[in-house]
């Protein structure tokens, strides 16, 4: 049936030998166990691995701090290379390219959930009968808490205005149902807030289609890209997304809790009729230090910035983004990712058909790096299998109620790791 793959270890080795991206693995630190063996690291969807270069980049900022103190900001009297006051600018350019946005539509700031709050303040504007907000059933708790509290902030009742698109027993959204829900809420719909890639199932949603339908009924669309960025190809400007936000510590490999980013469509950037939370970093640089209490707003998405940003958290972004570009950008990464996921599918199908179900939709447009596995062998529990995987040196994660998430990422994972993973899983299940 399949003439590209077979179940031998030689096939895995051959796929690695033919892989143009295989050399990038060496540019990352790979976690090891007590015996010094490399883990099979399939949790790049949760915390991406550390590019070796990022140590140097963070150290450089520490040195700058040590050597120049406050002058590191590029403050008066400081002729510093890479001053902190404009440190985000080159990173914003790289980030804009990655998501298919214009430079002026992207800003790097805060953390993900904070940004959801900031953007809902601007873009969830219930007026008259148009008060409803569509999200997914079983949304990531933090996303739900943000939406719910923003609704309450406006003195509205969450049970009346939050409309949840139902998911099936595997957490999969039926695209037809998403579209129908948007159409049926119609002129009562203020905002659609959905993920580009769903965190539990790994399902990729048709963002462009969702936007078209939502705009047609007069609603705005915000896209949660925590699992989308660095995973699938994005064209936020062309798709006419209203806003989006994402973190940089998952597929973007920029470090635990590292600073997040937002996309704001240029048509919304300097609107006078929306609310924003302001701080001095959104004030234009020319007048920022005149210290007038008159907000002189930037004319880019940076107007949403509030505080001077955490430089040590931003420093690793550059190395991580440079690696993506060097690898050939999202196009090249996505190509390998699709092939990896087909190989994974094939091995599970051949070896573990009766034991493991991949709940992530199978067509390549509907999945990214992550595959969500469910143990269907009735003699075993999912949790038990997961625990055995962990003690066998596989880094993967468990999501309640019953899913094992694995994400072979094209940047640093190999086909051999997929092969070894399936072998380990086979042993666990057959013992
Ligand atoms: C990773 C993730 C988060 C994490 O939010 P933080 O504010 O960065 O802690 C939130 N929502 C989704 C869907 C995620 O995947």
Q: Find the mean pLDDT for residues 168-179.
A: 97
Q: For residue range 222-260, what is the model confidence (pLDDT) as tens digits?
A: 999 999 999 999 999 999 999 999 999 999 999 999 999
Three-class secondary structure of residue 36 per DSSP: coil
| C-alpha 7 – ligand 1 centre gap (Å) | 36
- Kindly report each contact of residues 311-315 with a partner whose C-beta sits within 8 Å and lies 24 or more positions away, as own/partner: 311/61, 311/84, 311/87, 312/58, 312/61, 312/62, 313/254, 313/255, 313/257, 313/258, 313/259, 314/87, 314/88, 314/91, 314/108, 314/258, 314/259, 315/54, 315/57, 315/58, 315/60, 315/61
Residue nearest to atom 1 of ligand 1 (CA): 226
Q: Find the mean pLDDT for residues 125-131.
A: 97
Whether the per-residue pLDDT at 273 is higher than 60: the answer is yes
- β-sheet bridge partners, residue 367: 203
Q: Which of 113, 228, 249, 254 to mutate to test the pocket of ligand 1 (most atoms within 8 A of CB)?
A: 113
What is the C-alpha R_g of the chain? 23
Q: Find the mean pLDDT for residues 333-355.
A: 96
Q: Find the mean pLDDT for residues 267-289.
A: 95
Pocket of ligand 1, beta carbon within 6 A: 111-113, 140, 142-143, 195, 199, 224, 226-227, 247
| C-alpha 237 – ligand 1 centre gap (Å) | 23
Question: CA quadruple 421, 425, 426, 427: dihedral positive or negative?
Answer: positive
Q: How confident is the model at residue 1 (pLDDT cuts 50, 70, 90)?
A: very low
Q: Find the mean pLDDT for residues 181-204.
A: 98
Given this model, what pLDDT does residue 198 score? 98
Whether the per-residue pLDDT at 81 is higher than 90: the answer is no
Nearest-atom number in ligand 1 for the CA of 114 is 7
Given this model, what pLDDT does residue 77 score? 64
CB 321 within 8 A of CB 252: yes
Residue matched to tokens 């959104």: 282
Q: Is the pTM of this model over 0.95?
A: yes
Q: Find the mean pLDDT for residues 77-86.
A: 84
Given this model, what pLDDT does residue 31 score? 97
Given this model, what pLDDT does residue 367 score? 97
Given this model, what pLDDT does residue 78 score? 63
Indicate the average pLDDT of the chain: 96
């Amino acid at each position: 049936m399949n003439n590209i793959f077979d179940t031998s270890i030689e096939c895995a080795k051959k796929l690695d030998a033919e892989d143009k991206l295989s050399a990038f693995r060496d540019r990352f630190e790979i976690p090891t166990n007590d015996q010094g063996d490399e883990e099979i690291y399939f949790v790049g969807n949760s915390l991406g691995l550390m590019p070796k270069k990022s140590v140097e980049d963070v150290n450089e900022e520490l040195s700058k701090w040590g050597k120049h103190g406050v002058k590191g900001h590029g403050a008066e009297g400081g002729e510093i290379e890479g001053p902190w006051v404009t440190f985000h600018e080159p990173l914003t350019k790289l980030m804009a390219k990655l998501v298919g946005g214009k430079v002026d539509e992207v800003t790097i700031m805060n953390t993900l959930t904070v940004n959801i709050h900031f953007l809902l303040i601007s873009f969830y504007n219930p007026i008259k009968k148009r008060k409803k907000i569509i999200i997914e059933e079983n949304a990531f708790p933090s996303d739900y808490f943000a939406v719910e509290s923003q609704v309450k902030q406006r003195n509205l009742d969450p049970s009346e205005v939050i409309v949840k698109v139902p998911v099936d027993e595997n957490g999969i959204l039926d695209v037809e149902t998403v579209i129908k829900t948007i159409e049926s809420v119609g002129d009562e719909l203020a905002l659609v807030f959905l993920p580009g890639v769903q965190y539990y199932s790994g399902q990729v949603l048709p963002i462009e289609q969702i936007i078209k339908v939502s705009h047609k009924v007069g609603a705005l669309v915000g896209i949660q890209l925590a699992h989308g960025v660095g995973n699938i190809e994005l064209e936020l400007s062309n798709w006419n997304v209203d806003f989006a936000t994402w973190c940089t510590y998952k597929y973007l490999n920029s470090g635990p809790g590292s600073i997040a980013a937002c996309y704001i469509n240029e048509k919304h950037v300097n609107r006078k009729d929306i609310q924003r939370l302001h701080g001095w970093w959104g004030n234009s640089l020319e007048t920022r230090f005149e210290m007038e209490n008159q907000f002189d707003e930037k004319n880019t998405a940076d107007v949403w910035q509030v505080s001077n940003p955490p430089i040590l958290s931003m420093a690793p972004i550059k190395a991580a983004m440079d690696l993506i570009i060097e690898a050939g950008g999202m196009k090249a990464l996505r190509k390998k990712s699709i092939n990896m996921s087909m190989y994974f599918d094939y091995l599970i199908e051949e070896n573990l058909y009766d034991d493991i179900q991949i709940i992530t939709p199978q067509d390549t447009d509907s999945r990214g790096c992550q595959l969500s596995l469910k143990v269907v062998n009735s003699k075993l529990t999912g949790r038990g299998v997961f625990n055995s995987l962990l003690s066998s040196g596989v880094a993967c994660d468990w999501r309640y109620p019953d899913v094992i998430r694995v994400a072979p990422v094209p940047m640093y994972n190999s086909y051999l790791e997929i092969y070894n993973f399936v072998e380990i899983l086979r042993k666990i299940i057959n013992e």
